[in-house]
């Protein structure tokens, strides 16, 4: 029950050359669109052949291939939008597609030329976004939506607050969609282009717009299901994205499927929405032309930071977040004139920062970590700009608000007291853990880690790093045998872990099982050095497995909520049933004996009763069902698909409305009789024979 409550479960820039090559330059625009596409593809093939022939003189390079921008995007989508996914995770590619289009509308709003409204509709896998800005120049709609590195944002001053400066985003959306339609309206006229997988299908030219139709741009697209396999948009993920846009663009109204999102107080509204505990003192809110900051503390452990650059949520932080953390710590320390540890100052903090940077440099096209060092050309460094702003605004505020300063001081002193109280115990535990780690057979580590300081530029797999937490060595057997040793580690628990609800931190710290787990994750002093991007709880699908899952969730919720709030904790989904065609299995078994080679049998792995019934209806009387209860029951050959690229994960989320304290008290506290009555009242009896009914 607890798990269900808190877990949810994400271009043709060679047109001119092509026309000349084909000898149709003069007549190109008078041809049918299919003919134009045919000429383009023919010319590109000829260019590839020419490149191959030229390369043969160098030996060994006869097979060099030159891809068109469209082909490159479709073959290497990860370079443009990060991971693909199916929509189950917040950072899956289909949400990046939506973001790329909305970013353009936001940029138009920030220039001051647009009506403060953006309409977004997501229905049956189709996304429609309409803004009310100036609209794309009517004779350039095709170029703006299909030619790489084509855009109007290379004027730094005009688009100072823009994220999409390289002219790539919307072209990637176009190439990765089965249908992409774009229409611009300007002063009573319009122009539109319809694409299929990045190739033009229809082009309207400049025609009269409807009477009274407002200026602006409309984009409609449907992600390509052959690239984003089994994708499905999650409303809660899109809603969170839209909320962030409203917080970062005060005065802008966004309509999502008819629902209005509007913020009056900017980042203050964001922090209030994100906080799962009440603030200890009123939010400190500071703003200027290129920076906005909110700071408060809550009765919780760890640090909770939200950072943005030009409206882009930098989930992995970057130079601005590092500067912000250090600046506020130093300012508070100097204000009180005491030798506080920075960790004591920041423990329990909830803060957000948004800055505007000219020509920001991110570490990838997905823009989740800022790499820039200066605010603008010949301007101050990001570190100096943020430090000067925080020093002035925060110091002034604390002098003018003695009540807040007093509450903050007490929080820091409480943090210091708690840290010193367990310091001696922590030191001894770490020494014991180091000794145990020399012979630790619980951890089977991988080679690539999330906190590695360096990685190959052409093969950076740090974000792929993960660790599976399993119950016992036998349960981890299948995972260990078929895991990717480069990026997947396994940690085996010994039986059921300690129920940490309501326990003194000293007792939890001295627990060897959790001490070893903390050491494996490298989170003894916070999550800055976290070794794995995904911490995956992989327990059996039985009562004991669910209990262990809840015990682990209780531990992380109480003693490392940062891990959850930053999106690093997941639950592994494993199939509950295997349904195979037994008639085909017998037939192929006899054939395999003759040929000495195993043959694949029609098999369906079902994660729910709905999937099981669908498989039964498909196979009919030939169906044979196996119920999986433990990970050890699944063979390594079968398990490789469950932790591979198609792995199903549920991200653990911590939200304000979840009332986690009350839930933990009820499900993990000492009210045994109350829980027993709850179970009796809500018990559902199922007969094992029911699994065969269809």
Give the DSSP per-residue string, 574-586: --SEEEEEHHHHH
**Bigger pLDDT: 637 vs 253:** 253
Name the pLDDT band for 686 (thresholds 50, 70, 90). Answer: low
Average pLDDT over residues 176-196: 94
Q: Strand order in 569-572's β-sheet? A: 7-8, 649-652, 569-572, 534-538, 466-471, 488-493, 443-444
Report the chain's mean pLDDT, rounded to a whole number.
Answer: 82
Average pLDDT over residues 527-534: 91
Angle made by CA atoms 668, 674, 677, in degrees to the nearest 5: 120
Residue 436 has pLDDT above 50, yes or no: yes
Q: What is the pLDDT of residue 21?
A: 33
Per-residue pLDDT for 692 more than 70? no
Residue range 12-20: average pLDDT? 36
| Choice among 88-97, 427-436, 500-509 with the minimum mean pLDDT | 427-436
Check whether 26 has a pLDDT greater than 70. Answer: no
Does residue 634 carry a pLDDT above 90?
no
What CATH number does domain 440-569 carry, 3.20.20.140, 3.30.390.30, 3.40.50.670, 2.40.30.30?
Answer: 3.40.50.670
Give 661-680 pLDDT, tens digit per residue.
Answer: 788 888 888 888 888 888 88
Q: What share of the chain is helix, strand, coil (3-state, %, to 5)?
A: 45, 20, 35
Q: Is the pLDDT of residue 18 over 50?
A: no
204-208, 337-341, 580-584: range with lowest mean pLDDT: 580-584
**What local confidence, expressed as pLDDT, does residue 308 receive?**
93
Please compute the mean of the pLDDT values over residues 343-355 and round it to a whole number. 95
Mean pLDDT of 481-506: 88
* pLDDT band at 1; cut points 50, 70, 90: very low
Quick check: 162 pLDDT over 70?
A: no
pLDDT of residue 588: 66
CATH architecture classification, 267-418: 2-Layer Sandwich (3.30)
Confidence of residue 160 (pLDDT cuts 50, 70, 90): low
Q: Is the pLDDT of residue 161 over 80?
A: no
Q: Name the residue ranges covered by the structural domains of the chain.
A: 12-66, 78-262, 267-418, 440-569
Q: How confident is the model at residue 360 (pLDDT cuts 50, 70, 90)?
A: confident
182 Cβ partners below 8 Å, 6+ apart? 136, 141, 144, 145, 174, 192, 193, 217, 218, 219, 220
pLDDT band with cut points at 50, 70 and 90 for residue 8 = very low
Q: Fold for 78-262, please state it.
A: Heat Shock Protein 90 (3.30.565)
Residue 118 backbone class (left: φ over 0; alpha: ψ -120 to 50; beta: rest): beta
Residue 53: Cβ-neighbour burial (10 angstroms; 0-12, 13-18, 19+): exposed
């Amino acid at each position: 029950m607890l798990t269900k409550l808190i877990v949810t479960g994400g271009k043709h820039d060679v047109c001119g050359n092509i026309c000349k090559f084909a000898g149709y330059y003069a007549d190109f625009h008078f041809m049918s669109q299919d003919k134009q596409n045919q000429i383009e593809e023919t010319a590109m093939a000829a260019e590839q052949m020419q490149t191959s022939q030229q390369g043969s003189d160098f030996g060994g390079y006869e097979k060099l291939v030159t891809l068109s921008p469209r082909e490159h995007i479709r073959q290497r989508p990860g370079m443009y939008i990060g991971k693909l996914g199916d929509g189950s995770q917040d950072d899956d590619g289909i949400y990046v597609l939506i973001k790329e289009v909305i970013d353009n509308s936001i940029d138009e709003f920030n220039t001051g030329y647009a009506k403060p409204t953006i309409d977004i509709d997501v229905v049956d896998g189709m996304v429609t976004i309409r803004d009310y800005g100036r609209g794309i120049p009517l004779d350039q709609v095709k170029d703006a939506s299909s030619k790489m590195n084509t855009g109007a944002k290379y004027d730094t001053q005009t688009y100072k607050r823009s994220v999409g400066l390289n002219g790539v985003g919307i072209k990637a959306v176009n190439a990765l969609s089965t249908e992409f339609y774009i229409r611009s309206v300007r002063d009573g006229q319009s122009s539109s282009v319809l694409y299929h997988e990045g190739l033009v299908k229809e082009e309207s030219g400049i025609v009269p717009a409807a009477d009274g139709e407002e200026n602006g741009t409309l984009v409609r697209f449907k992600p390509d299901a052959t690239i984003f396999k089994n994708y499905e948009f999650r409303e809660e993920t899109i809603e969170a994205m839209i909320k962030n846009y409203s917080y970062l663009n005060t005065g802008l109204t966004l309509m999502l499927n008819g629902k209005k999102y509007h913020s009056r107080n900017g980042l203050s509204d964001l922090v209030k929405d994100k906080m799962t505990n009440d603030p200890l003192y009123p939010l400190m809110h500071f703003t200027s032309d290129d920076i906005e900051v909110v700071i408060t503390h809550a009765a919780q452990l760890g640090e909770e930071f939200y950072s943005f650059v030009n409206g882009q949520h930098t989930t992995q932080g970057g130079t601005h977040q590092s500067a912000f953390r250090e600046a506020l710590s130093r300012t508070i320390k100097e204000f009180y004139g005491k030798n506080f540890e920075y960790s004591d100052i920041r423990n329990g903090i909830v803060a957000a920062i948004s800055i505007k940077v000219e020509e920001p440099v991110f570490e990838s096209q997905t823009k989740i970590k800022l790499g820039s060092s200066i605010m603008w050309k010949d301007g101050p460094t990001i570190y100096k700009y943020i430090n000067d702003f925080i020093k002035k605004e925060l110091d002034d505020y604390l002098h003018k608000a003695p009540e807040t300063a007093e509450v903050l001081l007490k929080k820091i002193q409480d943090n210091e007291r708690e840290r010193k109280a367990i310091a001696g115990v922590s030191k001894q535990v770490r020494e014991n853990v180091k000794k145990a780690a020399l012979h630790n057979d619980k951890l089977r580590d991988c080679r690539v880690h999330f906190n590695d300081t360096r990685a190959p530029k052409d093969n950076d797999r740090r974000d792929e790093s993960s660790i599976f937490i399993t119950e016992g060595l036998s349960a981890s057997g299948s995972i260990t045998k078929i895991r990717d040793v480069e990026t997947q580690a396994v940690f085996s628990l010994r039986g059921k872990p300690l129920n940490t609800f309501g326990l003194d931190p000293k007792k939890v710290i001295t627990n060897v099982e959790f001490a070893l787990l903390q050491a494996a994750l490298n989170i003894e002093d916070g999550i800055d050095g976290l070794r794995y991007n995904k911490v995956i709880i992989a327990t059996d699908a039985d009562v004991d497995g669910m209990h262990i899952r809840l015990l682990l969730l209780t531990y992380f919720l109480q003693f490392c909520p940062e891990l959850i709030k930053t999106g690093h904790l997941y639950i592994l989904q494993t199939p509950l049933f295997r349904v195979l065609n037994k008639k085909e299995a017998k037939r192929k078994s006899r054939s395999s004996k003759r040929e000495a080679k195993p043959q694949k049998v029609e098999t369906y792995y079902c994660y729910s009763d709905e999937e099981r019934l669908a498989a039964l209806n498909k196979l009919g009387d030939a169906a044979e069902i196996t119920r999986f209860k433990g990970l050890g029951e699944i063979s390594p050959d079968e398990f490789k698909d469950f932790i591979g690229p198609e792995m199903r994960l549920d991200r653990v989320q911590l939200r304000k409305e979840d009332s986690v304290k009350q839930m933990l008290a009820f499900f993990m506290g000492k009210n045994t009789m109350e829980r027993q009555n709850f179970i009796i009242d809500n018990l559902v009896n199922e007969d094992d024979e029911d699994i065969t009914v269809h």
